[in-house]
Amino acid sequence: MKADFKMSQPSATSFFSSAATLRQPQITQYAREKSPSEIRNNSAWHIAPNLFQSFKYAWSGICYAFVTQRNFRIHTAMTATAISFGLFLHVNALGMAIVALTCALVMVLELLNTALESVVDLTVGQSYHELAKVAKDCAAGAVMISALAAVLVAGFIIAPPLFAMVFPV
């Protein structure tokens, strides 16, 4: 079924290789004649037909990261813990918003890190490439910085009321 569908669609590779043979004026002409959605529809293997299907794909990406990435599971557990403590300690709305946004940032970056790793692996496979290393290390660095920021935010917002509860004066 998948193969039949693929056969009936122009492949991304053929689209880009034919685009690569175009000279600059031809590319400008092509871009003028085709709308961005037409260009995308010609290059994508499959386009989500409706909003519900888009949500389904997004959810399957989140599930994939949860199942395959240990770090994503740790970030999810940390997010649940931070939000639970925030609610339990009656942290104010602004504090909760900052905690939620910081936790979301870490999880979003971990998802992007996973996406980037997949694209790099798709591109270079199991061969070593210095640029593959740069791409993966930088993406991992982005996750690490956001996780450190999340620890700081938790230290500023959740730790004080927690200590006050555990060690009342």
Ligand X SMILES: Nc1ncnc2c1ncn2[C@@H]1O[C@H](COP(=O)(O)OP(=O)(O)OP(=O)(O)O)[C@@H](O)[C@H]1O
Footprint on this chain of ligand X (rule: CB under 6 A): 69, 71, 113, 117, 124, 128-129, 132-133, 136-137, 140
User: Any residues with CB less than 8 A from the CB of 85 and at least 6 apart, and which?
Assistant: 158, 162
Task: Confirm whether residue 4 is marked as ligand binding.
Answer: no
Provide, rounded to whole angstroms, the least separation between the CB of residue 143 and ligand X: 6
Shorter beta-carbon distance to ligand X: residue 46 or 129: 129
Token pair belonging to 65: 């990261």
Task: Confirm whether residue 136 is marked as ligand binding.
Answer: yes
Shorter beta-carbon distance to ligand X: residue 79 or 114: 114
Provide, rounded to whole angstroms, the least separation between the CB of residue 55 and ligand X: 25
Closest CB to ligand X: residue number: 133
110 catalytic residue (yes or no) = yes
Query: Which of the following is catalytic: 33, 38, 110, 130?
Result: 110
Task: Confirm whether residue 130 is marked as ligand binding.
Answer: no
The catalytic site residues sit at 110
